[in-house]
Amino acid sequence: MHFKLDNFKPIKSAEIKVNDLTLIFGDNNTGKTYLAYALYGLLSKWGNVALGIEFLDKEQRKSFLGNKQIKINKRDLNKEEILNSLALAYAKTMASEVFLSQSELSPKIQLLNIDFVKNKKLKDKLVKMIGFI
The domain locations on the chain are 2-130
27 — pLDDT class (breaks 50, 70, 90): very high
CB-based burial, 56-73: b 16+ in 10 Å, e otherwise: eeeebeeeeeeeeeeeee
Residue 112's DSSP bridge partners are: 2
* Residue range 96-101: mean pLDDT, rounded: 54
User: What's the confidence (pLDDT) of residue 62?
Assistant: 75
How far, in Å, CA of 54 to CA of 32, rounded?
A: 33
Q: Which residue has the higher pLDDT, 117 or 56?
A: 56
Cα(58)–Cα(103) distance, integer angstroms: 37
Does the global pTM surpass 0.75? no
Q: How far apart are the C-alpha atoms of 74 and 58, rounded to whole Å?
A: 17
Q: What is the mean pLDDT of the chain?
A: 70
Rounded Cα–Cα distance for residues 24 and 71 (Å): 42
Mean pLDDT of 18-27: 86
- pLDDT computed for residue 28 by the predictor: 92
State the pLDDT at residue 18: 82
